[in-house]
A and B are shown apart, each in its own frame.
Chain A
Amino acid sequence: DAKTTQPNSMESNEEEPVHLPCNHSTISGTDYIHWYRQLPSQGPEYVIHGLTSNVNNRMASLAIAEDRKSSTLILHRATLRDAAVYYCILRDPLETSGSRLTFGEGTQLTVNP
C-alpha cells in the first residue's frame, strides 16, 4: 500500500482556517485520496475524498497538488467540535478488499477557544 505522511499534531484557534497537510509521494495514478477524522470516543468519520481535482463539501475542502504527491485538507472555520485525529488515506480501486483502509497515526488537531 502507498503510504502517507502527516504531522503528528497541529493547533488552531476557533473560527480560523486550518490547513492539514498530507504527503503521498508514492501515490499511484489510480489511488484516491480519502480523509477521515476520529473524534474522541468515537469511530472514524468520513470527511472527503478526491482523485485529481480539488473537492468541496459541507465539511471541508480538499486541495490536491498537480503532481498528486501531496494534498491539503482545509477546514474553513475551525470549531471546538473539529478537534480530532485526522487521517489521510490512499484507496486503490483495484484493491479486492474494497473497504480495506490503511490508517497511519494521523494528525491530532487541537482547537483553542
Chain B
Amino acid sequence: ETGVTQSPTHLIKTRGQQVTLRCSSQSGHNTVSWYQQALGQGPQFIFQYYREEENGRGNFPPRFSGLQFPNYSSELNVNALELDDSALYLCASSGDRVIGSPLHFGNGTRLTVT
C-alpha cells in the first residue's frame, strides 16, 4: 500500500502571503486531518475532512482552510500568513471514522514565514 505523501517538503513565504500545501492520502482512506507542529512541541490538530466536508476543527482561525478531493488528495490553505505560522504541517489519513483506527501521517511540509 502507498503511504501518505506531502508536497512540497520545504517552503519559504513572506508575511501576508497565501500558501497551499498538498497531501495524498492512502488509497481507501476517507478521512484526512491536518496538524501544525511548532518546533519542540507536539502536533496540534487543525481540522479534519471526511468525504470532502470539514467535520471537526481545532483552535485555528478561519484563514486556515482546506479541501478534500475524491481522488484521496487534499489541500491546506493558509491566508494572510503570520510569522507564527512557521511550523511543520502534517497530513494524516485514516480508513474510517471509527475510533481506534490508526492515523497514517506524512512526513510534513516545513513552512517558514519571513
* Interface, chain A (partner B; CB < 8 A): 32, 34, 36, 41-46, 49, 85, 87, 91-93, 95-106
Q: Would B100 and A101 count as touching, CB distance under 8 A?
A: no
Chain B 58-98 near chain A by CB (<8 Å), digits 1 or 0: 10000000000000000000000000000000101010111
Q: Would B45 and A92 count as touching, CB distance under 8 A?
A: no
Having A101-B43, A103-B43, A105-B40, one finds 6 other A-B pairs with CB under 8 Å, namely: A49-B100, A85-B42, A93-B99, A96-B55, A98-B101, A99-B33
Chain A nearest Cβ from B53, distance in angstroms: 12
Q: Which residue of B lies closest to A45 (CB)?
A: B105
Q: Which residue of B lies closest to A50 (CB)?
A: B100
* Closest 10 A/B residue pairs (Cβ): A97-B56, A103-B42, A43-B105, A46-B102, A93-B99, A99-B33, A98-B97, A100-B45, A97-B48, A44-B105
Complex Cα–Cα for A49 and B94 (A) = 15
Partner of B42, one of A43, A87, A93, A99: A87
Chain B nearest Cβ from A1, distance in angstroms: 10
Chain B nearest Cβ from A98, distance in angstroms: 4
Interface size on B, residues (CB 8 A): 32
Partner of A32, one of B33, B99, B103: B99
Is B31 in contact with chain A by the CB < 8 A criterion? yes
Question: Could you write out 23 A-B pairs with CB less than 8 Å apart?
Answer: A32-B99, A32-B100, A34-B102, A43-B4, A43-B90, A43-B106, A43-B107, A44-B90, A46-B103, A46-B104, A49-B100, A92-B99, A95-B99, A96-B55, A96-B56, A97-B55, A98-B94, A98-B99, A100-B33, A102-B45, A105-B40, A105-B41, A105-B42
Partner of B56, one of A46, A100, A104: A100
* Interface, chain B (partner A; CB < 8 A): 4, 31-33, 35, 40-45, 48, 55-58, 90, 92, 94, 96-108
Chain A nearest Cβ from B57, distance in angstroms: 8
Question: What residues of A have a CB within 8 angstroms of the CB of B42 in the complex?
Answer: 85, 87, 103-106
Q: Would B99 and A101 count as touching, CB distance under 8 A?
A: no
Q: Would B45 and A97 count as touching, CB distance under 8 A?
A: yes
